[in-house]
Amino acid sequence: MTAARVTYNSGLSRSMSDIQTQREVLRHTAKRMAIAVSLTAVMTLATVTLQLGTDLDAVVRVGHVLTLSLCAAIAISAFLSGALSYRSALLMKELTLTRAELFRISRTDKLTGLLNRRGFDEAAAVALQSAHAAKRPVAAMMCDIDHFKAINDHYGHEFGDRVLVNIGEVLQAFAADNELLVARYGGEEFAVLAVGSTEQQAAILGEALRQGCCARDVVDEDNSARVTISIGLAAPGGVARLSQLMRVADEALYMAKRQGRNCVARAIAVSDSLAA
């Protein structure tokens, strides 16, 4: 971002932040109208003076005055409307970019760069709807970093953040390679949605993801740790709502923890009940 862009944005922000009430809107509009009227008067006077001179008693043809007045009115109107339209377009551009950035921020986890829960729920709902319409299988996984509280307590929260970033990078790369939807669902939990994957394929993906997460150490200047994850898998045989799908995946995750962690588990009985 250039210095000019930063200066413009900061100036725009100050200008927009000054308008917060209806009275300020009216004041701003009146000010712009006064400027437009003043510019029109000055430009008209200058044009007439240059063309007709300053002698108020001079005899001038009516047709010449009408032509001059028409040309001046058109030129001045075009200039002012163009200038104001350009400024309005700049404001609309910045507002559009700001809205898009706010939309992105509200659906992105700041630490890992993955979708947050809100972003995941919205994207997953659309993906599920498309999958159901095309009669494609879907599977969901809930992933949890093993003993994350102990990691924070032993190494400190800064190292814990590094662990989250590391797992987020593995998930992001894995999702790109396998066309998955991933998110940091909350705390040390991550969510994965696999559209077009059968139960067996999803189980293979889950195991590959588990191995990928524990394949590299998390290190900083003073510490090094091997981190593992537990994964709960839900792969219904029929149509399921997103809330049901994630609830079953979460229950399967607790099964994985009870089985000793660092594994992939599926709650068969519960997930099968999701089928419509």
CATH classification of the domain holding 165: 3.30.70.270
Residue 177: inside a domain? yes
Asked if 68 and 134 sit in the same domain, the reply is: no
Residue 111: inside a domain? no
Asked if 102 and 121 sit in the same domain, the reply is: no
Other CB atoms within a 10 A radius of the CB of residue 70 amount to 10
Asked if 125 and 70 sit in the same domain, the reply is: no
Asked if 267 and 148 sit in the same domain, the reply is: yes
Least trusted range by pLDDT, from 6-20, 35-49, 113-127, 206-220: 6-20
Q: Residue 256 sits in which domain range?
A: 117-272
Q: What is the DSSP letter of 4?
A: H
Residue 200: inside a domain? yes
Residue 199 has pLDDT above 60, yes or no: yes
How many Å is the Cα radius of gyration of the chain? Answer: 32
Residue 16: inside a domain? yes
Beta-strand runs (E) in 29-166: 138-145
What residue has token string 């191995």?
211
Q: Which of 188, 189, 199, 207 is catalytic?
A: 188
Asked if 60 and 127 sit in the same domain, the reply is: no
Asked if 236 and 121 sit in the same domain, the reply is: yes
Is the model's pTM score more than 0.95? Answer: no
Asked if 257 and 158 sit in the same domain, the reply is: yes
Based on the number of CB atoms within 10 Å of its own CB, is 63 exposed (0-12), middle (13-18) or buried (19 or more)?
A: exposed
How far apart CA 233 and CA 64 sit, in angstroms, is 85
Residue 16 has pLDDT above 80, yes or no: no
Q: Report pLDDT for 73.
A: 72
Domain limit, last residue, from 58, 81, 106: 106
pLDDT band at 57 (very low <50, low <70, confident <90, very high): low
Domain limit, last residue, from 59, 74, 106: 106
Residue 114 has pLDDT above 90, yes or no: yes
The strand pairing partners of 40, in sequence order, are: none
Asked if 147 and 254 sit in the same domain, the reply is: yes
Q: Report pLDDT for 210.
A: 96
| CA distances in angstroms from 12 to 28, 31, 260, listed in the order given | 14, 17, 56
How far apart CA 228 and CA 234 sit, in angstroms, is 20
Asked if 147 and 14 sit in the same domain, the reply is: no
Q: Is 188 a catalytic residue?
A: yes
Residue 196: inside a domain? yes
Residue 112: inside a domain? no
| CA distances in angstroms from 61 to 50, 58, 67, 206, 221, listed in the order given | 16, 10, 10, 90, 88
Residue 2 has pLDDT above 90, yes or no: no
Residue 193: inside a domain? yes
What residue has token string 């290190």?
219
Mean pLDDT to the nearest integer, 218-238 = 89
Asked if 79 and 15 sit in the same domain, the reply is: yes
* Total domain count, the chain: 2
Write phi, then psi, for 265 (nearest 5 degrees): -130, 150
Asked if 93 and 123 sit in the same domain, the reply is: no
Domain limit, last residue, from 50, 84, 106: 106
Q: Yes or no: say if 172 and 184 are a contact pair by the CB < 8 Å rule.
A: no
Asked if 123 and 175 sit in the same domain, the reply is: yes
How far apart CA 252 and CA 231 sit, in angstroms, is 8
Mean pLDDT to the nearest integer, 191-210 = 95
Residue 221: inside a domain? yes
